[in-house]
Chain A
């Protein structure tokens, strides 16, 4: 079964740049994009807009922005960690923020990793590439339930 990446990102520029970087890195896995926190939660649990989706297969990794419309990144992280179905899904916080406070809150809420988006595109692309490589190719995902 193919491993999917979930990108939670409201900024279309960042979305496109991220997707481009993944493509360039030859990570051809399907990427599910959620444009706000609610959509991300709906997808993961098969509710709302994604009602009907059986929440049996989970993404190999969730790339989560912190500043999101509706539910913000930390709320989404709380939801993911509170539900037994999604508790083990790896979550990487990918954000512009370099605030210590944001980093601390992310780790306290159960983030597996915290990555700052650099302004320099080369550095940004490098970071995304490395993330994709690590979580899709190197990391072993937790066993799927159901």
Chain B
């Protein structure tokens, strides 16, 4: 109970009581003193007037007989009236007739009498009273008496001070005792409020001590606490739920991070394995390129040397065998060449760029025409075949596809090759169509395997690697390749160059439309 706020409330109450008491006392005392002083003044004036009247009556005979001595004696009776400090009697002519002065008083008297009056002069009451007998003015009595109003005022102030102090002390004690009745319930509420705030304990309740406004306050306060308690519980429950959710989320995030790290690790591992495999493949290709060719060259070279250097020693049969040996070595050289090409299209990065496939096809066609100017093939290449693809690989693909069409139409009456593109639902399917030898649909899935051939070498030359190369190029672009054909009527090769995200599905419908 020593906190400033509580002291302040008590002080305010105390101050109120004391100020009220003080003001009431001062007003009461002032009224009393005022009344007393005016009463004193009136009493004194009336008393002295009566005294002067009596004195006048007493002295009237002396004045009538001009008996100064008697007048003096009469005046000297005033010594029994101590407040009277001096007195005088003037005769009818206004001359000083007899005087009296108290032992301690000054012996100064006004030279002339005045009309009937009573006034305060220099701390004394000065009174003139005419002596009238039968309507005749006999003389005037002059009285000067001690006017003790101011000393009374001082006395009263002293008393008032003592009364005030005493009254204030009593009021202080009383109010200290009584204000408890008012402040105790309020302070109790304040205490509970402080504890609630300090300890966050909303289960605390203030004790109702009275049924007055403070009692109502206690009820309201308790109701409020109940409400806060309820809401706090709800809030805490919701907070706990949130915290739990956050915890679960962060656990999930950690799990995701862990899985990601694991995945990245695996990807790194796989990448390393792939890189190793790629390097091995490259060194394999390199070895094939170098080491496999050298013996072939020797076989071919020394075969040729035999033919050139010892023609007379060799029978024709032997020469024919040697020619077969040389043809075979050359065929094997071609096989190695094509295998290396196949390996090469699988290596290196895929560089997608905007390519005009029509232009690429045209270049391939004109190369074929230059190589075999005797062939009359009707070739049509559609316009506007734009693609995002690796230009070099697409050229290799067209070299093989158009090259095949060129080759397999060599026995057709009116050879025709068409290169175009079909769009369906934003997906483009490219095709190379010919009216050449064609193939049986039953073998359609065997077309793209390496060394798979559907025609004999004597019919059509080839290594059987070309379409495998094309398929690998298409697959590297995330596309699909398939073919349709009929023996003696021709073949169509379709392929797509889907982006990685694109789904390579449902293209069969496009193909059929193209074929028809």
Chain A residues packing against B (C-beta within 8 Å) = 11, 13-14, 17, 20, 66-67, 95-99, 117-122, 124-125
Q: Which residues of B contact A121 (CB under 8 A)?
A: 297, 300-301, 303-305, 326
Q: Which residues of A contact B330 (CB under 8 A)?
A: 119-120
Name which residue of chain B comes closest to A122, CB basis: B304
Known A119-B329, A119-B330; judge A98-B340 contact (CB<8 A). Answer: yes
Other A-B contacts than A13-B294, A97-B289, A121-B305, 5 sampled, CB-CB below 8 A, are A11-B294, A13-B301, A17-B298, A96-B294, A121-B301
Q: Which residues of B contact A97 (CB under 8 A)?
A: 286, 289-290
Q: Mark B470-496, 1 if CB is under 8 A from A, else 0.
A: 000000000000000000000000000
Q: Are the CB atoms of B286 and A124 closer together than 8 Å?
A: no
- In Å, the complex CA distance between A20 and B289 comes to 24
Q: Which residues of A contact B285 (CB under 8 A)?
A: 99
- In Å, the complex CA distance between A118 and B297 comes to 7
Q: Mark B286-317, 1 if CB is under 8 A from A, else 0.
A: 10011101111110111111000000000000
Q: Which residues of B contact A20 (CB under 8 A)?
A: 301, 305
- 21 example contacts (A-B, Cβ-Cβ < 8 A) are as follows A11-B298, A13-B298, A14-B294, A17-B297, A17-B302, A66-B290, A67-B290, A96-B289, A96-B290, A96-B294, A98-B337, A118-B297, A119-B293, A119-B297, A119-B329, A120-B300, A120-B330, A121-B301, A124-B297, A124-B301, A125-B304
Known A120-B333, A122-B304; judge A13-B297 contact (CB<8 A). Answer: yes
Q: Which residues of B contact A95 (CB under 8 A)?
A: 290
Q: Which residues of A contact B340 (CB under 8 A)?
A: 98
Q: Which 7 A-B pairs have the closest CB atoms?
A: A119-B333, A13-B298, A121-B301, A121-B304, A17-B301, A96-B293, A121-B300
Q: Which residues of A contact B300 (CB under 8 A)?
A: 119-121
Q: Which residues of A contact B293 (CB under 8 A)?
A: 96, 117, 119
The number of A-B residue pairs with CB atoms under 8 Å apart is 62
- Tell me how far the C-beta of A11 lies from the nearest C-beta in chain B, rounded to whole angstroms: 5
- Tell me how far the C-beta of A7 lies from the nearest C-beta in chain B, rounded to whole angstroms: 15
Q: Majority SS of interface residues in chain A?
A: loop
Q: Mark B321-356, 1 if CB is under 8 A from A, else 0.
A: 000001001100100010010000000000000000
Q: Which residues of B contact A119 (CB under 8 A)?
A: 293, 296-297, 300, 329-330, 333
Q: Which residues of B contact A11 (CB under 8 A)?
A: 294, 298
Name which residue of chain B comes closest to A17, CB basis: B301
Specify which of B298, B301, B305, B329 lies most central, judged by the most chain A CB atoms within 10 Å of its CB: B301
Question: When the two chains form the complex, which single residue of B302, B304, B326 contacts A13, counting CB atoms closer than 8 Å?
Answer: B302
Q: Which residues of A contact B305 (CB under 8 A)?
A: 17, 20, 121
Question: When the two chains form the complex, which single residue of B289, B294, B298 contacts A98, counting CB atoms closer than 8 Å?
Answer: B289
- Tell me how far the C-beta of A26 lies from the nearest C-beta in chain B, rounded to whole angstroms: 15
- In Å, the complex CA distance between A96 and B295 comes to 11
- In Å, the complex CA distance between A119 and B334 comes to 9
- In Å, the complex CA distance between A73 and B152 comes to 143
- Tell me how far the C-beta of A126 lies from the nearest C-beta in chain B, rounded to whole angstroms: 12
- Tell me how far the C-beta of A143 lies from the nearest C-beta in chain B, rounded to whole angstroms: 36
- In Å, the complex CA distance between A99 and B305 comes to 29
Known A14-B294, A17-B297, A121-B297; judge A99-B286 contact (CB<8 A). Answer: yes
- Tell me how far the C-beta of A95 lies from the nearest C-beta in chain B, rounded to whole angstroms: 7
- In Å, the complex CA distance between A67 and B302 comes to 22
Q: Are the CB atoms of B289 and A14 closer together than 8 Å?
A: no
Q: Which residues of B contact A14 (CB under 8 A)?
A: 294, 297-298
Q: Which residues of B contact A66 (CB under 8 A)?
A: 290
- In Å, the complex CA distance between A122 and B285 comes to 25
- Tell me how far the C-beta of A21 lies from the nearest C-beta in chain B, rounded to whole angstroms: 9
- Tell me how far the C-beta of B301 lies from the nearest C-beta in chain A, rounded to whole angstroms: 4
Specify which of A14, A98, A119, A122 lies most central, judged by the most chain B CB atoms within 10 Å of its CB: A119
Name which residue of chain A comes closest to B307, CB basis: A121
- In Å, the complex CA distance between A2 and B285 comes to 41
- In Å, the complex CA distance between A66 and B290 comes to 9
- In Å, the complex CA distance between A98 and B292 comes to 13
Q: Which residues of A contact B286 (CB under 8 A)?
A: 97, 99
- Tell me how far the C-beta of A83 lies from the nearest C-beta in chain B, rounded to whole angstroms: 27
Name which residue of chain B comes closest to A116, CB basis: B293
- Tell me how far the C-beta of A115 lies from the nearest C-beta in chain B, rounded to whole angstroms: 13
